A = this chain, B = another copy of it.
Amino acid sequence: MKTLKSNPRRDGYRMPAEFEPHRGTLMTYPYRSDVWRLDGVPAQDNYIEVAAAIARFEPVFIAVPPHLFEEASARYHVPNVTFIPLESDDAWMRDNGPTFVTNDEMRLRGVDWEFNAWGGDFDGLYKPWDKDDAMAEAILKIWDVDRYRTKGFVLEGGSIHVDGQGLALVTESCLLSPGRNPHLGKNEITNMLKKYLNVKKVIWIPYGVYDDNTNGHIDNIACFVAPGHVLIAMFDDPHDPQFAMSNASYEALTKARGVDGKKLKITKMIFPDKLIYSTQEESCTVDEVATAIDRPAYKRLVASYMNFYCCNGGIIMPAFGQPSDEKAKAILQNLFPEREIIPIYSREILLGGGNIHCITQQIPKGLANDEN
């Protein structure tokens, strides 16, 4: 692994869309008792369920803090799922893992964005976050993939989506949040994304999901399902703040234009039938500390079907135990007729503040430094 001084656009590398072929999937093992109830054990089971589903389609590698490596290796034996002892602060590989880029010769490189736990001293979720910030480099070192480091530019992988053909999709609420890059304006951030993702156009929508403590990551509200084709979650009840938020974002999408100057294709996803709240039991089994946000009871959870993960031949989709699960599955099956849709009841992951997409990171098909 070398750290490069240029950027992907200059070197002819681009971020492939998630629906392009993968080499494998990266995840991190949850453990911190001030985020995950009961010392993380229920969440660990839930993460491994997700890993096992993905592993039917492609290899999965899970970073496990060294002190839990032996225990995790003894507890879970899942074919095609491999643990790697690597330090971490928490377990959201989407957000602090590398963003892989490839070139025309299928060579891999990785963008290592600066990570500050979703807002740093302004409104970050825990501190310190140095181990999480070091994760992408550690991964790139193991795979021997060269690295771009955006020192001074903060970004999480969950706050961007690309269609692989020149478009990126982001939310204003997150990327313009004072906890990210307050020294940069919207144009400057757009230019950074153009350079590091090698896209021609960045589409901004105003909002993500209501009360999402990522400041509204794109990956909980909308994504590309094909080049120039966006799926966005719409809310039925006009009395709920999500209704106006989704409508405003939808509106922005209708006004946006693709690389070819044409309108985007837009499909609507549903939200779960009923709002989902944390319980007293779930809240009181999370440790309370000064260095991480509280996990209160009766809190509205950021449940969204959009937080699915697209892997080789499969879609791993969050399920919430509601009739809407089947409807959401049908929408995805219609959009991805050749892929198997696997719903996973992921409440333990949701309690931590994210879902299946947030805990996964694709390694696109491609070659490391020493491979031909």
Q: A: which residues have CB within 8 A of B?
A: 24, 59, 61, 66-67, 69-70, 73-74, 77, 79-80, 82-85, 141-144, 368, 370
Is the Cβ of B59 less than 8 Å from the Cβ of A70? yes
What is the CB-to-nearest-CB distance from A139 to chain B, in angstroms, rounded to a whole number? 10
Is the Cβ of B84 less than 8 Å from the Cβ of A144? no
Listed from nearest, the 4 A-B pairs whose CB atoms lie closest are A73-B82, A66-B142, A85-B142, A77-B79
A61 proximity list for chain B (CB < 8 A): 70, 73
Using A59-B74, A67-B144, A70-B143 as known contacts, list a sample of 5 further A-B pairs with CB atoms less than 8 Å apart, ordered by residue number in A: A59-B73, A61-B70, A69-B82, A69-B84, A84-B84
A74 proximity list for chain B (CB < 8 A): 59, 80
A80 proximity list for chain B (CB < 8 A): 74, 77
Is the Cβ of B144 less than 8 Å from the Cβ of A66? yes
What is the CB-to-nearest-CB distance from A83 to chain B, in angstroms, rounded to a whole number? 6
- The copy count of this chain in the complex is 2
| A82-B83, A84-B84 as given contacts; A143 in contact with B66, CB under 8 Å | yes
**In the bound complex, what is the Cα–Cα distance between A370 and B71 (angstroms)?**
13
A368 proximity list for chain B (CB < 8 A): 67
Is the Cβ of B59 less than 8 Å from the Cβ of A141? no
**In the bound complex, what is the Cα–Cα distance between A74 and B80 (angstroms)?**
7
**In the bound complex, what is the Cα–Cα distance between A371 and B102 (angstroms)?**
43
A24 proximity list for chain B (CB < 8 A): 70
**In the bound complex, what is the Cα–Cα distance between A73 and B70 (angstroms)?**
17
Q: List 5 A-B contacts (CB under 8 A).
A: A24-B70, A74-B80, A77-B79, A77-B80, A85-B142
What is the CB-to-nearest-CB distance from A40 to chain B, in angstroms, rounded to a whole number? 15
Is the Cβ of B67 less than 8 Å from the Cβ of A370? yes
**In the bound complex, what is the Cα–Cα distance between A224 and B201 (angstroms)?**
71
**In the bound complex, what is the Cα–Cα distance between A144 and B66 (angstroms)?**
8
A83 proximity list for chain B (CB < 8 A): 82
A144 proximity list for chain B (CB < 8 A): 66-67
A73 proximity list for chain B (CB < 8 A): 59, 61, 82
What is the CB-to-nearest-CB distance from A98 to chain B, in angstroms, rounded to a whole number? 14
A67 proximity list for chain B (CB < 8 A): 144, 368, 370
**In the bound complex, what is the Cα–Cα distance between A70 and B367 (angstroms)?**
12
**In the bound complex, what is the Cα–Cα distance between A188 and B362 (angstroms)?**
56
A84 proximity list for chain B (CB < 8 A): 69, 84-85
A69 proximity list for chain B (CB < 8 A): 82, 84, 142
What is the CB-to-nearest-CB distance from A134 to chain B, in angstroms, rounded to a whole number? 14
What is the CB-to-nearest-CB distance from A365 to chain B, in angstroms, rounded to a whole number? 13
What is the CB-to-nearest-CB distance from A328 to chain B, in angstroms, rounded to a whole number? 33
What is the CB-to-nearest-CB distance from A136 to chain B, in angstroms, rounded to a whole number? 15
A85 proximity list for chain B (CB < 8 A): 84, 142
**In the bound complex, what is the Cα–Cα distance between A80 and B74 (angstroms)?**
7
**In the bound complex, what is the Cα–Cα distance between A141 and B79 (angstroms)?**
27
What is the CB-to-nearest-CB distance from A56 to chain B, in angstroms, rounded to a whole number? 14
What is the CB-to-nearest-CB distance from A51 to chain B, in angstroms, rounded to a whole number? 13
**In the bound complex, what is the Cα–Cα distance between A141 and B67 (angstroms)?**
9
A59 proximity list for chain B (CB < 8 A): 70, 73-74
A142 proximity list for chain B (CB < 8 A): 66, 69, 85
A143 proximity list for chain B (CB < 8 A): 66, 70
**In the bound complex, what is the Cα–Cα distance between A144 and B67 (angstroms)?**
7
Among residues of B, the one whose C-beta sits closest to the C-beta of A77 is B79
Among residues of B, the one whose C-beta sits closest to the C-beta of A60 is B73
**In the bound complex, what is the Cα–Cα distance between A143 and B65 (angstroms)?**
10
**In the bound complex, what is the Cα–Cα distance between A285 and B66 (angstroms)?**
38
